């Protein structure tokens, strides 16, 4: 920090017993993100000439409240939609107050990045049910299976994200066997005891094949199944056709690898399988996630009565851990479908973000007139970038809460400029709470941290914390707010609610108290001792016995899920003869979705997001590193920079998302990168329930630009 409170440099904390000083490059360059020229110092509003010009934050809230109210009065509550991007959930105060604001307005049209991420997690969990004592954790496992996830780069789950490299090394020194299923020999796959490198889009075959072997070899936990699981016979029948030979032919792998995976996973005592974005974006998100759950369940990979709960929680709501199932719950049927997708009744994963642009563009009764974007960047992140642009342009009122003038903010009527995390008090609740999304997310140790605001906002700036905008709008719209504890609800737990004082604005610290209400360890204790982050010395928590008379069972024979497997078994419906390549998703180490793509220090290595291809494929097309290539899908096309990657399976193009500027102003791919969303259709090949489009394993054709 310099004298004016500006962040100058950042480093990992070697004294932190959890991360042991691990720090990613994005963290190291956090100060640049705070002081970058692209950072907004003021909120902006569009003036009469159509330019975005600075506006006082209070005045911006006055105007936005009036305009939103006018739209609501005229067209009703379904004329206003909200999109919550990835950064929304990172800020507990914002998630709480903005959600309370949506609740008070009874807004139904809430969308999030979740349905273009790993929505199969929620649908599969609903069809399967939930084990209240939790799964085996990484630190105690002797096997671990990763399907379409690369935790050593993404650092967000799959392997506990604080120092995943070191944790993996330690686990392997202990004898843990890692299995990775990924068409690319990723940074993580390099460490695997077994790496299955299939054609993309074939995870259902591979997982069904492994399940079949596990069952045939008798690696299942019969006792657990008898006492807690329904549908085992159905599962056995459904996976029976997936012989090693069939899987080998379908996925382009050696069938022995299926037997090997079943042996490693099935003979281990403890461990878990977990899937990531690769398995969710390649066409079969529901069934892939469901088969992962089935594999864990029939092998009994859960904590049992008397087991120690390694991390019961720190700032999350206190609850019991019981050795019992919570029965399956409805996957879909939550109210009216979107007008643009009458075929898709709202599901547990939330409304389909892939349909939001169409919903905005569809005229007539019930059309969306206003959109509020919080902590997201639709222009970069949504599939079908051209349609996204048309939809954002069609809005009567577009409000964007973002610290940068992103491609999305550039199209907004109001850009509300927030403070950044170093300038606000914060705590680790959001990450801790992630365990509710998947067993391999969150912390495996009892970790919790509080950090005060340490940096001052840039001199002369006029910024608010994100949540203050929603509190400010609520005050002006005369709405009472009630905030919930936690960031995501916890299964089987009633979340404490607290009404907010709508006359005297609470402090940010006070809000942190409310969102951590009834937590395992009071936030106050973390404030008093900011160095203490591990709470393993607290009273240990053990898994309790099953409730007397509890009849809830997990379900591994879900009809709804197996319909998707039967559909998959019919053959590759994404095969298109004229598209010889498949484009797959990936993440790059130094950028986080669109964040960092404009920071030079973070984009040095490749410049932008190149199109990675196998060197043999490049040679065959007479292409060299740095050449421009044209990539066409059945839906659209883009230009990208070719780059060799010997770790890729031949026949693939691997590209990172969230690059490429405004498509109406074509730039040089070497400067701006390329937006993969241009290749993605939001109306064809979308998954059931979530509508997640085919965003990986996309059929494409690649030609040198010179040959056109």
Ligand X SMILES: Nc1nc2c(c(=O)[nH]1)N[C@H]1C(S)=C(S)[C@@H](COP(=O)(O)OP(=O)(O)OC[C@H]3O[C@@H](n4cnc5c(=O)[nH]c(N)nc54)[C@H](O)[C@@H]3O)O[C@H]1N2
250 binds, among ligand X, Mo ion, none (CB under 5 to 8 A by kind): none
Member of 592, 612, 643, 659 binding ligand X (CB under 6 A): 592
Binding partner of 585, given ligand X, Mo ion, none, CB within 5-8 angstroms per partner class: ligand X
- H or E segment to which residue 703 belongs: strand 698-704
Distance CA 24, CA 589 (A): 8
Q: Based on CB atoms, which residue is closest to ligand X, 150 or 608?
A: 150
Sites for ligand X among residues 515-574 (CB under 6 A): none
CB of 591 to Mo ion, least distance (A): 13
Position among 212, 546, 587, 649 found at the interface with ligand X (CB under 6 A): 587
What is the residue-wise DSSP string for 626-652? T-EEEEE-SS-EEEEEEEE-TTBPTTE
Binding residue for ligand X, selected from 126, 323, 554, 595, defined by CB under 6 A: 595
Residue placing its CB nearer to ligand X in the complex, 543 or 584 = 584
Those residues whose C-beta lies under 8 Å from the C-beta of residue 256, and which sit 6 or more positions away, are 244
- DSSP letter for each residue of 187-203: TTGGG-SEEE-PPTT-H
Measured CA to CA, the distance from residue 507 to residue 515 in angstroms comes to 13
**443 backbone dihedrals φ, ψ, rounded to 5°:** -105, 145
**Whats the size of the chain, residue-wise?**
708
- Torsion angle defined by CA atoms of residues 267, 299, 145 and 677, in that order, rounded to the nearest 10 degrees: 160
> What does the alpha-carbon distance between residue 167 and residue 165 come to, in Å, rounded to a whole number?
5
Spatial distance between the Cα atoms of 497 and 373, rounded to a whole number of angstroms: 25
Interface positions, 98-137, toward Mo ion (CB under 5 A): 117
Taking the complex as a whole, the smallest distance from the CB of residue 549 to ligand X amounts, in Å, to 40
| Binding-site string for Mo ion from residue 369 to residue 408, where x marks contact by CB under 5 A and - marks none | ----------------------------------------
The entry of Mo ion, ligand X, none near residue 695 (CB within 5 to 8 angstroms by kind) is ligand X
Cα–Cα nearest to 35, from 459, 568, 395, 323:
459
Residue closer to Mo ion, measured from CB, 117 or 182? 117
Tell me if 145 sits within 8 A of 272, measured CB to CB.
yes
Site for ligand X in 482-521 (CB under 6 A): none
Please tell me the distance from the alpha carbon of residue 434 to that of residue 124, in angstroms, as a whole number.
17
Residue 594 touches which of ligand X, Mo ion, none (Cβ within 5-8 Å per kind) = ligand X
Q: Minimum CB separation from ligand X for residue 102, in Å? A: 15
Query: Site residues for ligand X, window 565-584 (CB under 6 A)?
Result: 584
Interaction partner, residue 92 (Mo ion, ligand X, none; CB < 5-8 Å by kind): none
- CA atoms of 276 and 118, how far apart (whole Å): 7
Contacting range for ligand X; rule: CB under 6 A; set: 133-141, 154-162, 359-367, 477-485: 154-162
Which span sits near ligand X by CB under 6 A: 55-63, 341-349, 494-502, 590-598? Answer: 590-598
Which residues lie closer than 8 Å to 37 by C-beta, 6 or more apart? none
The one segment of 40-48, 148-156, 453-461, 546-554 that binds ligand X by CB under 6 A: 148-156
**630: which strand partners?**
639, 703
> Which listed option, ligand X, Mo ion, none, makes contact with residue 361 (CB within 5 to 8 Å by class)?
none
Shortest CB 659 distance to ligand X, Å? 10
DSSP annotation of 278 reads H
The encoded tokens of residue 474 equal 């609520």
- Gap between the Cα atoms of 693 and 691, Å rounded: 6
Beta strands in 56-157, from DSSP E residues, in sequence order: 80-84, 110-112, 130-131, 143-147
CB 71 within 8 A of CB 63: no
**Is 465 one of the binding residues for ligand X (CB under 6 A)?**
no
Q: Which of 148, 164, 425, 486 binds ligand X (CB under 6 A)?
A: 148
Applying CB under 6 A, does 201 fall inside the site for ligand X?
yes
Interface map 629-668 toward ligand X (x if CB under 6 A): ----------------------------xx----------
Which of ligand X, Mo ion, none interacts with 592 (beta carbon under 5 to 8 A by kind)? ligand X
Euclidean distance between CA atoms 191 and 173, whole angstroms: 12
- Please state, in angstroms and rounded to a whole number, the distance separating the CA atoms of residues 480 and 562: 45
The single-letter DSSP state of residue 484 is E
Separation of alpha carbons 205 and 199, rounded Å: 11
- 393 CB contacts (<8 Å, ≥6 apart)? 411
With CB under 5 to 8 Å by kind, the binding choice for 314 among ligand X, Mo ion, none is none
In the bound complex, what is the minimum distance in angstroms from residue 100's beta carbon to ligand X? 16
- Residues in CB range of 360: below 8 A, 6 or more apart: 81, 367, 368, 371, 391, 392, 394, 395
Residue closer to ligand X by CB (options 543, 583) is: 583
Compute the least distance from the CB of residue 399 to ligand X, in Å: 11
Question: Rg of the chain's alpha carbons, rounded to an integer?
Answer: 25
Nearer to ligand X, 132 or 155 (CB): 155
Does residue number 697 form part of the binding site for ligand X (CB under 6 A)? yes
Which partner from the list ligand X, Mo ion, none does 154 bind, CB cut-off 5 to 8 Å by kind? ligand X
Which residue in 687, 659, 593 sits closest to 88, CA to CA?
Answer: 593
**Footprint of ligand X on residues 335-374 (CB under 6 A)?**
374
Is there binding between residue 36 and ligand X (CB under 6 A)? no
CB of 307 to ligand X, least distance (A): 28
636 interface partner picked from Mo ion, ligand X, none, CB below 5 to 8 A per type: none
Which tokens in the block code for residue 421? Answer: 């995390």
Which one of Mo ion, ligand X, none is in contact with 346 (Cβ closer than 5 to 8 A by kind)? none
CA 367-371-373 angle, 5° bins: 155
Q: Tokens 């780069």 map to which residue?
A: 153
Of 26 and 546, CB closest to ligand X: 26
Least distance from ligand X to the Cβ atom of residue 589, Å: 5
Taking CB positions, which residue lies at the least distance from ligand X?
A: 278
Cβ nearer to ligand X, comparing 39 with 517? 39
223 C-beta neighbours (distance < 10 Å), count:
9
Residue 595 binds: one of ligand X, Mo ion, none (C-beta under 5 to 8 A by kind): ligand X
- CB 679 → ligand X: shortest distance, Å? 8
Site track for ligand X across 100-129, x = CB under 6 A: -------------x--xx------------
Q: Does 276 bind ligand X (CB under 6 A)?
A: yes
Please list every residue from 397 through 456 that binds ligand X, using CB under 6 A: 401-404, 406, 418, 420-421
Residues 317, 490 contacting (CB under 8 angstroms): yes
Query: In Å, how far are 309, 472, 706 from 621, measured between CA atoms?
Result: 55, 57, 11
Which residue lies nearest Mo ion, judged by its C-beta? 117
Cα separation, 450 vs 662, in Å, equals 38
User: d(Cα 70, Cα 167) in Å, to the nearest integer?
Assistant: 54
Could you tell me the smallest distance in angstroms from the CB atom of residue 352 to ligand X?
Answer: 13
Q: Of the listed pieces 80-88, 250-258, 337-345, 513-521, which binds ligand X according to CB under 6 A?
A: 80-88
Whichever of 147 and 179 has its CB closer to ligand X, that residue is: 147
Out of 31, 119, 209, 278, point to the residue binding ligand X (CB under 6 A): 278
Q: Which residues bind ligand X (CB under 6 A)?
A: 85-87, 91, 113, 116-117, 147-151, 153-156, 158, 181-184, 186, 200-201, 203, 276-279, 281-282, 374-378, 380-381, 401-404, 406, 418, 420-421, 466, 584-587, 589, 591-595, 657-658, 676-677, 680, 695-697
Task: Tell me which residues touch Mo ion (CB under 5 A).
Answer: 117
């Amino acid at each position: 920090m310099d004298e004016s409170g500006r962040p100058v440099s950042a480093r990992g904390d070697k004294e932190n017993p959890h991360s042991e000083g691990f720090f990613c490059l994005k963290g190291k360059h956090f100060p640049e993100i705070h002081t970058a020229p692209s950072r907004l110092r003021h909120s902006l509003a569009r003036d009469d000439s159509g330019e975005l010009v600075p506006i006082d934050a209070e005045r911006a809230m006055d105007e936005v409240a009036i305009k939103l109210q006018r739209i609501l009065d005229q067209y009703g509550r379904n004329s206003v939609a909200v999109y919550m991007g990835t950064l929304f959930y990172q800020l507990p105060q914002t998630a709480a107050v903005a959600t309370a604001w949506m609740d008070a307005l009874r807004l139904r049209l809430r969308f999030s990045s979740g349905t273009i991420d790993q929505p199969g997690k929620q649908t599969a969990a609903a069809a399967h049910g939930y084990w209240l004592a939790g799964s085996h954790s990484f630190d105690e496992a002797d096997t671990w299976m990763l399907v379409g996830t690369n935790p050593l780069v993404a650092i967000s789950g799959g392997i506990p994200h604080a120092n995943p490299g070191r944790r993996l090394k330690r686990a392997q020194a202990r004898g843990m066997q890692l299995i990775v299923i990924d068409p690319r020999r990723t940074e993580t796959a390099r460490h695997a005891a077994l790496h299955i490198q299939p054609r993309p889009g074939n995870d259902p075959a591979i997982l069904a094949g492994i399940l079949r072997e596990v069952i045939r070899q008798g690696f299942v936990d019969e006792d657990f199944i008898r006492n807690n699981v329904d549908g085992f016979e159905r599962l056995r029948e459904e996976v029976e056709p997936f012989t090693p030979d069939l899987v080998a032919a379908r996925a382009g792998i050696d069938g022995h690898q299926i037997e090997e995976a079943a042996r490693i996973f099935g003979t281990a005592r403890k461990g878990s399988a977990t899937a990531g974005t690769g398995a969710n974006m390649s066409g079969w998100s529901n069934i892939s996630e469901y088969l992962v759950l089935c594999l864990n369940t029939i092998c009994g990979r859960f904590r049992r009565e008397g087991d120690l709960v390694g991390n019961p929680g720190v700032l999350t709501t206190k609850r019991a851990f019981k050795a019992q199932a919570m029965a399956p719950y409805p996957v879909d049927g939550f109210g009216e479908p979107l007008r643009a997708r009458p075929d898709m009744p709202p599901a547990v994963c939330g409304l389909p973000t892939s349909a939001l642009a169409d919903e905005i563009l569809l005229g007539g009764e019930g059309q969306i007139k206003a959109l509020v974007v919080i902590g997201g960047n639709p222009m970069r992140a949504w599939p079908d970038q051209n349609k996204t642009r048309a939809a954002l342009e069609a809005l009567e009122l577009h409000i964007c809460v973002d610290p940068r003038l992103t491609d999305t903010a550039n199209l907004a009527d109001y850009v509300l400029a927030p403070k950044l995390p170093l300038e606000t008090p914060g705590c680790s609740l959001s990450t801790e709470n992630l365990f509710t999304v998947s067993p391999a997310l969150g912390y495996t140790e009892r970790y919790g941290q509080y950090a005060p605001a340490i940096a001052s906002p840039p001199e002369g700036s006029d910024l608010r914390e994100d949540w203050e905008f929603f509190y400010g709008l609520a005050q002006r719209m005369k709405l009472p707010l009630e905030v919930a504890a936690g960031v995501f609800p916890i299964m089987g737990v009633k979340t404490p609610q607290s009404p907010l004082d709508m006359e005297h604005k609470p402090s940010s610290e006070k809000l942190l108290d409310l969102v951590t209400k009834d937590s395992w360890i009071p936030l106050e204790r973390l404030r008093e001792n900011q160095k203490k982050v591990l709470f393993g010395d607290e009273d240990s928590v053990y898994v309790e016995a099953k409730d007397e008379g509890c009849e809830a069972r997990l379900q591994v024979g879900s009809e709804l899920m197996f319909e998707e497997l039967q559909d998959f078994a019919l053959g590759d419906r994404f095969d298109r003869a004229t598209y010889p390549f498949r484009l797959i998703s990936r993440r790059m180490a130094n950028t986080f979705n669109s964040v960092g793509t404009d920071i030079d220090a973070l984009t040095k290595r490749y410049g932008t997001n190149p199109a990675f291809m196998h060197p043999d494929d490049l040679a065959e097309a007479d292409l060299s590193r740095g050449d421009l290539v044209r990539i066409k899908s059945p839906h659209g096309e883009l230009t990208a920079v070719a780059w060799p990657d010997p770790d890729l399976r031949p026949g693939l193009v691997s590209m990172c998302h969230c690059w490429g500027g405004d498509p109406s102003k074509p730039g040089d791919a070497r400067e701006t990168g390329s937006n993969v969303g241009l290749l993605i259709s939001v109306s064809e090949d979308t998954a059931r329930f979530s509508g997640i489009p085919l965003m990986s394993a996309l059929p494409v054709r690649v030609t040198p630009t010179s040959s056109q």
